[in-house]
């Protein structure tokens, strides 16, 4: 049985999956961690496009996105949403 192939994403798509603010910052981050994430390119049109696999995107996301545990007293609702009060009172 052959192993399933992993999907590959361009940096423009990977920026949205990870999330990063722009491809420039993702490229800089990948350059700093170049030993962990080897380069993989594909020719698209007349240009080379760097590709990241799904597992690489998940590993980068685990490095970049931090999970903050909630205390039992803290409610898991966003601060910008306020409860609506009745206008009649």
Q: How far apart are CA 9 and CA 29, in angstroms?
A: 16
**The model's pTM:** 0.68
The angle formed by the CA atoms of residues 84, 86 and 89, to the nearest 5 degrees, is 140
Query: Environment class of residue 59 by beta-carbon count within 10 Å: exposed (0-12), middle (13-18) or buried (19+)?
Result: middle
Taking 90 as the threshold, does the pLDDT of residue 10 lie above it? yes
| The pLDDT of residue 29 | 94
Write the pLDDT tens digit of every residue in 12-70.
Answer: 999 999 988 899 999 999 999 999 999 999 998 999 999 999 999 999 999 888 777 76
4-8, 64-68, 74-78, 85-89: which has the highest mean pLDDT? 4-8
pLDDT band at 73 (very low <50, low <70, confident <90, very high): low
CB 55 within 8 A of CB 7: no
| The pLDDT of residue 88 | 53
In order of 1, 19, 31, 37, 86, the CA distances from 14 in angstroms are 29, 8, 15, 14, 45
DSSP code, position 1: -
């Amino acid at each position: 049985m052959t192993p399933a192939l992993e999907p590959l994403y361009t940096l423009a798509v990977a920026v949205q999956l990870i999330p990063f603010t722009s491809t420039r910052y993702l490229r800089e981050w990948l350059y700093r961690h170049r030993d962990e994430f080897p380069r993989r390119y594909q020719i698209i049109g007349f240009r080379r496009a760097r590709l990241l696999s799904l597992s690489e995107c998940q590993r980068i996301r685990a490095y970049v996105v931090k999970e903050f545990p909630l205390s039992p007293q803290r409610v898991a609702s966003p601060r910008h949403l306020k409860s609506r009060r009745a206008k009649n009172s």
